[in-house]
Structure 1
Amino acid sequence: MRRTLDLLYDAAAWLAALAMIGVLVWVLLSIISRQLGFNIPGTDAYAGYSMAAAGFLALAHTLKRNEHIRVTLLLGRLKGRAGQVLQMWALSVAVLLAGLFAFYSVRLAWQSHAINDVSTGNDATPLWIPQIAMGIGTVVLLVAFVDEWFLQWSGKRREAAPGEALHNE
């Protein structure tokens, strides 16, 4: 099960990386087309869709790598049972919020598809297409938070070292 979950988080991260490449491609295409005197409609919108996809698809992977910004002032001071209770409370709230976020993100994409909602820009993209990435990203984030909740419950959750959050700076 652990390998499957890690594969899910990694797959979402790879899709996020592809979306970041998509941002680059759309922006470069926009710049090149302007320099050569022609216009490709929708490049700005597609770059925005790609950026949103990258952000949402990377959420679970960054959570599992302890890269999310967390306020640990109180958690760092509490030890033993009190720290465990606070961690379980925080993860429970996170599961609830991620569940709501996932539900409404998927619902938004579904409703956009049902009513044939399109962007108001000159690209007229059906909005459910870029919204799929948001729905997938939030569902995978929910899975990651549930995973963290069960790891905490079973005592197998790895805590980030105090200086570990700074390793990317």
Structure 2
Amino acid sequence: MPILRRTLDGLYALAAGLAALSLLGIFLIMVAQMLLRQFGVQVPGSDDLSAFLCVATTFLALAATFKRGELIRVGMVLERFPPAARRGAELLALTLAALIVGYITFWTGQDALFSWEIEEVAQGTVPFLLWVPKLAMPLGAGLLLVAILDEWIQVAAGLRPTYVLAAEDRAARGDFSAEV
């Protein structure tokens, strides 16, 4: 099991790293636009590329954010249950989350596949192939689905969810930044 745990945690970290690179890309595009504007030069396709990177940043960060307990969840309700009922409610919440994220993963994957099949391109100044940026959605949502199922298995085995432990660890250190 440790090799599977390291592999999953590595995937979550890799996706978070790619999200950070996407965010850096947005920053660099904006700086380039700002600097080149002084010389009357525009960066072709910069608006489209920034939008694509924004979507990639959001979706690729989902799994790592979930595992760190930094996504909005129903914790305020679940914390009120006694431990036995809390486990059942947590499993129910994770099951519903898995169903919803599975649905999102499937349909965003279908959309990316359809864009690839018809060779859909962006209508902006640069005809980007749209299946490439659309791929970030099913990949990020799919990895979030894996993270949710990962937590479901832990909770079903009687362990406390990783996201709860991470939130408790932050609170013990006096870090309430994720709670704001």
TM tier relative to shorter chain: over 0.9
- Amino acid aligned to 1:161: E
1:80 corresponds in structure 2 to 83
- Counterpart CA distance in 2 for 1:43 and 1:33 is 12
4+ long deviations beyond 4 Å: none
1:90-105 alignment runs, 5 A limit: 90-105=93-108
Matched AA of 1:124: P
Aligned equivalents of 1:146, 1:24: Cα separation in 2: 34
For residue 144 of structure 1, what is the amino acid of its counterpart?
A
CA RMSD of aligned residues (A): 1.7
- 1:29 and 1:43 in contact (8 A); partners too: no
Cα shift at 1:109: 0.7
**Does 51-60 or 64-73 show the bigger shift?**
64-73
Which amino acid in 1 is paired with 2:25?
G
What amino acid does structure 2 have at the position aligned with 1:16? Answer: A
Matches of 1:167 and 1:50 in 2, distance apart?
25
Report the AA paired with residue 93 of structure 2.
A
SS in 2 for 1:77: coil
- Please give the residue correspondences for 1:132-143 in structure 2 after superposition, counting only pairs within 5 Å: 132-143=135-146
Look up the match of 1:116: 119
What TM-score, normalized by structure 1, do the two folds share?
0.93
Measure, in 1, the Cα distance between the counterparts of 2:77 and 2:24.
39
Q: How does the TM-score come out when normalised to structure 2?
A: 0.88
In the alignment, the residues of structure 2 paired with residue 147 and residue 109 of structure 1 have an alpha-carbon distance, to the nearest angstrom, of 25
Cα distance between partner residues in 2 of 1:3 and 1:129: 28
Which deviates further from its counterpart, 97-106 or 4-13?
97-106
1:31 aligns with 2:34: yes
Identity over aligned pairs, percent: 37
Structure 1: 5+ residue stretches without partners: none
Of 136, 149, 168, the match for 1:161: 168
Q: Aligned AA for 1:122? A: T
Pairing partner for 1:60 from 60, 63, 66:
63
**CA-CA distance at 1:139 after TM superposition:** 0.9
Q: 1:122 Cα shift?
A: 1.4
Number of aligned positions between the proteins: 169
Partner of 1:107: 110
Rounded Cα–Cα distance in structure 2 between residues aligned with 1:156 and 1:45: 44
Q: Look up the SS of the partner of 1:18 in the other structure.
A: helix
Q: Which runs of 5+ in 2 are unaligned?
A: none
- The answer (yes or no) to whether the contact 1:30–1:44 under 8 Å persists in 2 is no
Secondary structure at 2:123 match in 1: coil
